[in-house]
Amino acid sequence: MQGCHGSVPGVRRPFVITPYSAGESGVFKPAKPDAGSCHVEGSKACVLWVDHLRERKTGPCIPLTVLGCGTHRVCFTVYPPGHVPYGRTRVAPVALEGKAMVDRPKGAEGFEGTVFEAALDASKGAAWDRSREGGGERWWGTQGRRVGAALKILGVAPGLGDSEREAMAAALGVALLLLCEQAYGIAAAPGYRSRGQAVRAVLGQLGEGPCVLSLLMASGHLAGLWGAPLWWDTQSARLRSWSFRGLESVLR
């Protein structure tokens, strides 16, 4: 059976997000979808089963479920809300069940503990360790990579074209002028602190609650950091697209 997580180019493939919840034993298990990323409109229905579990040392730090599809003969991982393929930390401040984090601060500070934390530290001039002693994640190289990813997700990365930045603003639900101003600020004063301040400014304008997850998933997809995010809606029992060009579409 063909797998869907081989090489890094696989980050461009569609992936399925579904709520994970803890059972009586305390083990987190996903809400099993009825359709997978292999399903396309008009094709035969998926026949899914649990193939195996993937242990994770980073990211959600819980075993992720890999489902197999007998119809399309593929396997695919289902990810908890806020997490993406090959990601090492959550993208949005939501719990594994898909709910907003309890007692989350308002504004940019509410994104502590996400991929944006590196940029928030940078905005305050807090550089991560420039040596690799101890092997911790709070290393300068890691901070640089995460700040770079944050700039792309939020549409303030240097080099973006006007149409690209306009699309990012629409996906995030923020003013295009905000993104242009922050990108100009980076160009006028290059450095890790100015990049962090640009990220902080945009995060401060994002909405509150679980809805911010769909916005960031769509913008990250537009930025080319991951494939089209597909959300398993447990209430309607349908797989919904969170890509910007089809935020409200339903895959039938």
Mean pLDDT by runs of 10 across the 252 residues of the chain is: 45 89 88 91 87 87 94 95 92 88 79 96 94 72 95 95 93 95 94 97 84 92 94 92 55 34
Q: For residue 244, what is the DSSP state?
A: G
The b-or-e profile of 49-88 (16+ CB within 10 A means b, else e) is eebeeeeeeebbebebbbbbbeebebbbbbbbbbbbbebe
Which tokens in the block code for residue 214? 């769909």
> Which of 212, 202, 228 lies closest to 100 in space, CA to CA?
212
Question: How many H-runs (helices) and E-runs (strands) does the chain carry?
Answer: 6, 9
In this prediction the pTM is: 0.87
